[in-house]
Amino acid sequence: MATELAARISALSPVRWPSQSIAGAAVLLLAVGFSQVIGATAAVLAPLWLLGMLAGFALQRSRFCFASAFRDLFLFGQSRILNGILMGLLITTLGFALIMYQQVPFPQFGALPAEAHILPVGLSTVIGGVLFGVGMVLAGGCSSGSLYRVGEGYVASGVAVLGMVLGLGLLAYQWNWWWETLVRHEPKIWLAEALPGGYGAAVALTLAGLLAVFIAGLWWETRNGLFMPSVSKEAGDAPDGLGARLAALWRRVFAEGWSPVVGGAVLGVTGLLMYLAYQPFGVTGELSRWAQHATTSLNVGPGVLRGLDSIGGCAARSDEGGVFTATFAITVGLVVGALVAALFAGEFKLRFPRQRRRYAQALLGGLAMGYASGLAIGCTIGAFFSAIPSLAVSGWVFGGSLAGGAWLGVKILQRIP
């Protein structure tokens, strides 16, 4: 059966290098096996590892990219990936509300759901968002984007991740200044508490906001005369019989790219399950932990960072000890999931940019992203994709600032050939 399936797949595809699929199957088996190893540390880590893998798989398959979602609005007038993000946010907003309601049924009394990403909102959010937006456009991908591209074999994305770790490390030394100057004075505004209508009003307002962004994106695309033209491709045979239908299904999931809306939906469900199992989706915490481990093991650590335990979000997880933690499971699992997806699709390749300046762009962009995500307590995932469904005002402010930063980044990028 398996060989027949493989034969049918290779018959459908013009070029097929099955070695990548075999490697993909091997990595998948090893990674699923590893979930048992990591699960021995704490049971919750096994499902989190698999969810991280699923997130990476979905990101790779749908070529999801927060950087391009914001950047392409300004560069090409395209809102395609933005719609994927909106789909993910629609699912997580409804799901997060249910989870938060279980924890805090009466939001008006001032208690916040402990794990939700309700972050301080103020000037630090704006500075962080703008700086992050510039960085992700320069580096060619945000934090989750650079991580999953590492799994696909993009060497420059690895440089961007290194830059992020350095940037997070750098911020740690200056954190106490930011804390005293800005962050400690900034309120955590939770819509469910702030609005008289509680959860109902907060969810309705969030959904209305998402709808407004969707319509604005559509208007912007129409204004720019953009639509997906019909593309001539070699057409495969219409599926006939169980084997062929399975092969066609296989191709749709593993070989052809998913639409961003499908990717956003899978990512949304994944984020929701992560919250159910542990905490909302975030990747900055793990990178920040690497930075912290590096500096403290060299005995040049930044010392006590004030206020972090009162903030929550990605910051609260960065001081977890040991190697196998929840953030490790999610962040490293994401890279492995993207590797599996890229191998099955025959899209894995070690890619070295030809121009040396691309490495500098990746490093500088990564540095900016790292510093900014330390300041804003999260990246496009933690401070945006997990913050808006937490019904936090900070998510919207960070998102708007990201768009501003992306616009600025585009202006810079257009000057770099």
Q: How far is the CB of 247 from other proteins (least distance, A)?
A: 17
Q: d(Cα 410, Cα 417) in Å, to the nearest integer?
A: 12
- CB nearer other proteins, residue 74 or residue 290: 74
Give the residue from 124, 117, 118, 129 showing the smallest Cα distance to 178. 124
Give the residue from 385, 413, 412 showing the smallest Cα distance to 398. 385
Q: How far is the CB of 270 from other proteins (least distance, A)?
A: 20
Q: Which residue type is seen at 45?
A: L
Check if the beta carbon of residue 333 is closer than 8 Å to that of residue 56.
yes
- CB nearer other proteins, residue 185 or residue 357: 357
Q: How far is the CB of 39 from other proteins (least distance, A)?
A: 33
Kindly write down the DSSP assignment for every residue of 256-296, as one continuous string. SPPPHHHHHHHHHHHHHHHHHHTS---SHHHHHHHHHHHHH
- CB nearer other proteins, residue 201 or residue 408: 408
- CB nearer other proteins, residue 2 or residue 233: 233
- CB nearer other proteins, residue 61 or residue 289: 61
Kindly write down the DSSP assignment for every residue of 66-111, as one continuous string. HHHHHHHHHHT---HHHHHHHHHHHHHHHHHHHHHHHH-S-GGGS-
- CB nearer other proteins, residue 221 or residue 286: 221
Check if the beta carbon of residue 378 is closer than 8 Å to that of residue 43.
no
Please provide residue 188's backbone torsions phi and psi, each rounded to the nearest 5 degrees.
-95, 110
- CB nearer other proteins, residue 121 or residue 161: 161
Check if the beta carbon of residue 20 is closer than 8 Å to that of residue 348.
yes
Q: How far is the CB of 352 from other proteins (least distance, A)?
A: 6
Residues within the interface to other proteins (CB under 8 A): 13-17, 20, 63, 65, 67-68, 71-72, 75-76, 78, 80, 140-141, 149, 154, 156-157, 224-229, 231-234, 257, 345-349, 351-354, 358, 413-414
